[in-house]
Structures are given as C-alpha cells and as structure tokens.
Structure 1
C-alpha cells in the first residue's frame, strides 16, 4: 500500500497570525501549488483520500479525488484562546509557559502537542490495523504531519520541529505488514 501525506497549500492569511483550527481560504497561488502536488503523486492509481475537514485541506483533497473521507484527528493544533490572534499580541505571561514546554502544556482552552500527537497516532494506527490495501492520499497540516513523522523517525516530539514542512509538501510512505515505512528522504540537523 502506497501512502502520500500532503500538507495543505498556502492559506490566505498574513504572516504572524496564530490560526491552528481556524477555517481559512487558500491563497491565489493554489492552482500552481496543486499542479506541483499532482506531479508528485502517480496518476495511474486510484486512491482513497482522507483529509482534515478544515477548508484549507478539504479544498485540496476535493481537487485530488471525488470521494473524500474527513477525519477530525487530522486537524491542526487547537490553539484555543489564541486562534486568529497575532503572535505578538499574546502576552508573555500567557505565552512563556507554553514556549518553555509546548509539547506538554495546553494552550488556554486548546490542546497540547501531546494531545495532537495522540489523536494523529491513533489515526495512523487505524491505517496500520486496516486490511484495506488500496493506496491512500492524506491531506493534513504541518503539526499533525510532524507529530506523525516524529513517530516514524523515532525522534522526540520536542525535536519534531527540525522536520521542515512547506506548504504543499508531499511525503511518500509504504505500508508493510504492521508498520509504515517512510520512502521520502528528510534532512534532519
């Protein structure tokens, strides 16, 4: 079974805004980014497509196939009270505890990175346990993809931000018996 994990394309939002699970439109660069993504996925195959239900993923997923299954476990980190705030507008008093331990500390009225990793790894465990061998495309966000890849690469969550993930990046994996093997090469410092 071939699996392609894709980060959504560029969202239409100014830099420096915390947007986690906020629903955003896509930037005007979407057609070009879509073309680049499609060039990385063999078009000779039929895929199951699973996606975060957030608009920036759903729009891409719907352009990759006609039947998409949406799964909340693929959503980005829930930034709670910080959603749609400029990072610079979040007080140091609120931000510092999270910055010191973003893996375990929950965002006020949101979730921690451990929470995100747990739901994402649960999603991928379902894939590993599945007897379905049809190839799969997964559309998600940088946070869930990093959390999952940290598990595959056996690196701690706190080091997962060393995994560079750009908008529209595609990661290729293969399911072999009861595990997932990363085919794409990732440069880690």
Structure 2
C-alpha cells in the first residue's frame, strides 16, 4: 500500500474519531456507501501512485464488514513534512459544490499529514492490523518501493458524521506534496445514504 493510500486510510479513521459537538454531528445508526470509485489524478511522472484498490461489498454497510486490497508504489522516500490538500465536493441540485473547511473537515489544507498520523498512532506504538501482520508501515518516513495489502477484512463501526455529510453524492481529491512538488494525487467518488 503506498504512502498516499496509507495517509488516506489513516486520515479517514482519524476524522471518524473527532468530537461530534464541534460539527453539529449526529450518530449514524446505519449508512450505505454506494458506487465507490477511484482514480489517480497526478501527472504521469508523480512518484507516489496507487496501482490497485478494491473494496467490497457494494454497497458498503456502516456499521459492517469490509474487505479491501490495495497496491501502490513510491519512487522517492516520503518524509515529513508532507502537505495534504483535500478538496471535498457535494452534488447539490445537479451542481458540484465545494464544501469549505470547517474545523479541519471538508476542503482543507493539512500542513503535515505525518502529524495527523502521529496523533492517531503515536510513535513507538505498533501499527494497527492488518498493516502490522503484513509488515506495512503506518508512519513517516515511508521508504521508496512497492507496497501491497492482500485482501483483508475490516470492521467499520458506528460513526458520527456532520449533518451536511450524511446523504448525497461526493467527490474527494487529495494531493500529497512536499517542498512545493506534487508527490501523488487521488480522486474518490461515492454516495452516502444514511438513516
């Protein structure tokens, strides 16, 4: 699993742990994620590339079980600070509207994705499963090379979502960079339907 995918997964987990009161969040008892799709969006010569990513089932149930596998590579070592620019758009009446950055959720610039990872998985702590089992790194620096996550089972727990992120079609683009250079770009699209 490449550095960008690792950051994406860890940031997603981190965001699910944020306090509900800050965002007028509500507890989602049940949600479905449908039509999950992804693509690289960087220039052909960017060093960090996601090669494969599969998730099942479709729809993905939250809470529920998820099976995922991935592979990617980076031709350069990825070290702090790694900037992460996230653009989140929601479809509203047939138009794509950029969701602003509200308390570090939405279309936000993160100065160092490595800091976000360290908040979630403090240095010195083992990497969470299944990364630990497969010897995959979970914090900076990430050495140049290829990474593979074999088909692995995950459990998606109940989560708290902001009221504006509970139903609809979404597009997310994440651009990873360092010292003014783009290292990788990934686009995701999905639909969320909750109770």
| Global fold match (TM > 0.5) | no
TM-score (ref. length: structure 1): 0.27
Greater strand percent: which structure?
Answer: 2
TM-score (ref. length: structure 2): 0.26
Greater helix percent: which structure?
Answer: 1
